[in-house]
Amino acid sequence: MGKAKNAETLSVHADKAHIAVIEGRAELLSMTKSKFAALIIRHWINSGCPPVSEGDRLMQIAKQAEKKVSRKTS
């Protein structure tokens, strides 16, 4: 990925066990854990951003319903 004008740094606080998994996978690919985490995010985006929790799923449903109502009233 590298530094680019269209990139930003994102810091996250995660469970040590989760970081260990990311670190282990990244190490096998000779990557930093940050670069591997960026790949995880890219994969999530490319997969259509599936909900990560029930609350997230419900918010996406509400957002879609709002768009439909907005189109009908336009």
Residue-wise pLDDT tens digits, 10-39: 999 999 999 999 999 999 999 999 999 999
Q: How is 13-58 classified by DSSP, letter by letter?
A: ---HHHHHHHHHHHHHTT--HHHHHHHHHHHHHHTT---SSHHHHH
Please, which pLDDT band fits residue 69 given cuts at 50, 70 and 90?
confident
Place of tokens 């790949």: 39
Return mean pLDDT, the chain. 92
Provide the whole-model pTM: 0.79
Placement of tokens 């269209």 in the chain: 6
